[in-house]
Structure 1
Amino acid sequence: MKILVTGAAGFIGSHLCEYLLANGEHEVIGVDAFVREELHMIGTKNMDSFLHHPRFSMITANMLHLDWKILLIDVDIIYHLAGIPGVRSSWGADFRSYVESNILATQQLLEACRQSSIKKFVFASTSSVYGETTGQVSEDTPLAPLAPYGVSKLTGEHLCRVYSKNDGIPIVILRFFTVYGPRQRSDMAFHRFIKQLLANDPITLFGDGSQTRDFTYISDCVEAIAAVADAPHVVGETINIGGKERAAVIQVIQALEILTGKKSEISASSSLHGEPMHTWADISKAKRLLQYEPKISLEAGLAKELEYFIDFYK
């Protein structure tokens, strides 16, 4: 298959490209503008293992400036992972970049798909669209984002449904729950905790640490994303992608202390502005439609991420 991955240089996108190239004879086209400052600084480091692969080609350009009609010729699957992530930075004037990258770019890509022959358009959404919930959340749970970021991703979902209904675009929406692992963004909690522990700096903790998350290891997440390509009966579906286990944030810090052999000093911040206290994915739909079964325990996943960043920060 000919597969296009937007956000190919990012955390999830780079792992997905790597997986697709290693599993099958796919031709993969990566698109990334390196818009985020972090990606601009590290360049193609996330892509080192596949950047020069014979079946991979990279397009470095802003999605808003691409000629999609030409680029989508003969493309079978689009994995639309590109966008500006992060809850805390989505407030104020910075929301403009979220509108451009998460809403306008999505609409422009969907518009181009009207003239294409793609088999599936897979949109990467987020658990942030649910807002504050209790217990396990299924895909039909009422949606009430707590932050502008969640609003931007929910708008992307609505655009997908509009183009699906009116133009027959074969959309599939995946809602990710707190993905972690090697190459994780520097603003995400596990990466920050590890970096601060390795540097013997106080750990910055938002809230009191009792908030719980459904943590999804990157390889589990990517296997679920890749499975969409061959899965029957998924077009038009919205599917939660959660992890093997949940935990409180303070438990994660304690696990990292054991793994590093270091005791941390906590620098607490009371703010959980725009973030829910708990997330918990009902993944029964993913199990049924994608044969998804997360394999990596939180302890094993943390060990893998720690090993990666020990080397990274050398």
Structure 2
Amino acid sequence: MVERVLITGGAGFIGSALGEHLKASGKEVWVLDDLSFGTRALAPVPDERFLRIDIRNRAAVQRTIAMAAPQQVLHLAAIHFIPYCNAHPVEAADININGTINVLDACATAGSVNQVFVASTAAVYPIAEGAVNEEHPTGPLDIYGITKLAAERIASEFCLRTGIPTIIGRFFNAFGPNETNPHLIPEIQRQVRAGRRVLSLGNLEPKRDFIHTSDMARAMGALLDGGFSGCEVFNIGRGIEYSVLEVVQAFERVLGEPLSIEVDEARVRKVERMHLLADVGKLKRRTGWEPRWSIDEGVASLLTEPLLEWKGAHA
């Protein structure tokens, strides 16, 4: 019997990569997405398996998940661009917290769901100098991290209440095709593709753990197939950190020409952590997963792929 999986946020950046991976692995993929930031063309499903629903609509979410009757639900729908979350805290909380409650309650009552994955973030961690593992104390610095830590607590309670195995994946900095938010790498991509060789950027010193969405999708697939019980938390990163300057240098290597940087004060975050690095030892030990994409390989692909039009507040 083919396993049926439903991905909330499956028309977005990471969700679409996940859908393609699960589809290629033989699963029947359904997507639930309101297209506020996602794009219908990215969801790798026919129209009858695409469900245009806002996760804040509790009745619609319950009705839709019951109708789809998936065995596995992967909840990725969220607002995750940190400056937007900080500027719109009520909306961020409504979607990231109340939306998660709605999705998980629907999973509890659907009668078909036997496994859940909830996407969280490395933003739940406090400032740290070295790599952080899953046992590291939490301490988010911004509204986004606060809402996702709340979603983690809700997922843990859901698991205890229902007995449905629940995996929480703490995403580090994703990059790859079809980005729907103006994060660092897609911003450099767009400026370079527009012919600019003097880049307008914000903070230059922070280091981040960049992981390609293809590797993230493979990690989530491996976790689904891991046979875990109870509630488990896993970091999903590459285990290597790069500064903004090192990312620019990757673009220079691929382009074969130098790039200059000018700091745009409007892009400088007032609260910034200097390091964010994943210890992915648990993920590797428990699943056998290993990352495949280097940052240079990912950048090379970004310089040839079609650019996605950003929607909504990021357009």
Give your verdict on TM over 0.5: yes
Aligned to 2:90: 96
Q: Corresponding residue for 1:29?
A: 30
Letter in 2 for 1:45: A
Q: Which amino acid aligns with 2:4?
A: K
Shift of 1:96: 1.8
Q: Write the distance in 1 (CA, Å) between the matches of 2:304 and 2:207.
A: 24
Q: Counterpart of 2:13 in structure 1: which amino acid?
A: F
Match of 1:192 in 2: 187
Corresponding residue of 1:64: 56
Residue of structure 1 aligned with 2:104, choices 102, 105, 110 = 110
Structure 1: 5+ residue stretches without partners: none
Amino acid at match of 2:283: A
Q: State the distance in 1 between where 2:217 and 2:229 align.
A: 17
Structure 2 matches for 1:109-148, cutoff 5 A?
109-115=103-109, 116-148=111-143
Residue identity over aligned pairs, in percent, reads: 30
Contact 2:209/2:276, CA 8 A, preserved across alignment: yes
Partners of 1:88 and 1:273 within 8 A in 2 = no
Q: Aligned-pair distance for 1:265?
A: 3.5
Change (3 A) 1:274 1:166: farther
C-alpha separation in 2, matches of 1:264 and 1:114: 52
CA distance in 2, matches of 1:123, 1:211: 27
Distance 1:184 1:70, change over 3 A: closer
Give the residue type in structure 1 aligned to 2:94: E
1:11 to 5, 13, 19: 13
Q: Aligned partners of 1:102, 1:10: CA distance in 2, in Å?
A: 15
1:281 lines up with 2:278 in the alignment: yes
- Contact 1:102–1:156, Cα closer than 8 Å, also in 2: yes
- Relative distance call for 1:274 and 1:119 in structure 2 (3 A) is farther
Taking the aligned partners of 1:144 and 1:85, their CA distance within structure 2 comes to 17
CA–CA distance in structure 1, aligned partners of residues 21 and 272 of structure 2: 31
Give the AA of the match of 1:20: L
Aligned to 2:313: none
Q: Post-superposition shift, 1:127? A: 0.6
Q: Is residue 291 of structure 1 aligned with residue 292 of structure 2?
A: no
Give the CA RMSD over aligned residues: 2.0
- Distance change (3 Å), C-alpha of 1:118 and 1:274: farther
> Does 2:258 align with 1:260?
no
| Structure 1 length-normalised TM | 0.89
Give the counterpart of 1:305 among 293, 302, 313.
302
Cα distance, 1:283 vs structure 2:
0.6
Aligned equivalent of 2:4: 2
Which 4+ residue blocks in structure 1 deviate beyond 4 angstroms? none
Q: Secondary structure at the match of 2:293?
A: coil
| Equivalences, count | 300
Report the 3-state secondary structure (helix = DSSP H, G, I; strand = E; otherwise coil) of the residue aligned with 1:133.
Answer: coil
Cα deviation, residue 244, structure 1: 5.5
* Preserved contact between residue 80 and residue 144 of structure 2 (Cα < 8 Å): yes
Contact 1:88 1:274 (8 Å CA) reproduced: no
How big is the shift at 1:235? Answer: 3.6
Q: Which amino acid aligns with 2:107?
A: C
Query: In the alignment, does 2:178 pair up with 1:160?
Result: no
Task: Compare 4-13 and 167-176 and name the one that shifted more.
Answer: 167-176
Letter in 1 for 2:56: L
Deviation at 1:33, TM superposition (A): 0.4
Match of 1:206 in 2: 202
Tell me the CA shift for residue 257 of structure 1.
2.3
CA contact (8 A) 1:113 1:169 kept: no
3-state secondary structure, aligned to 2:209: strand
CA contact (8 A) 2:251 2:299 kept: yes
How many angstroms does 1:67 deviate by?
4.3
How much does 1:230 deviate?
A: 1.5
Tell me the distance in 2 between the aligned counterparts of 1:183 and 1:30.
17
Q: 2:233 aligns with which of 229, 238, 246?
A: 238
CA deviation vs aligned residue, 1:140-182 (integer Å, no higher than 9, x gap): 1011111101111111001111222233232110001101011
* C-alpha deviation, 1:216, in angstroms: 0.5
After TM superposition, the score normalised by the length of structure 2 is: 0.89
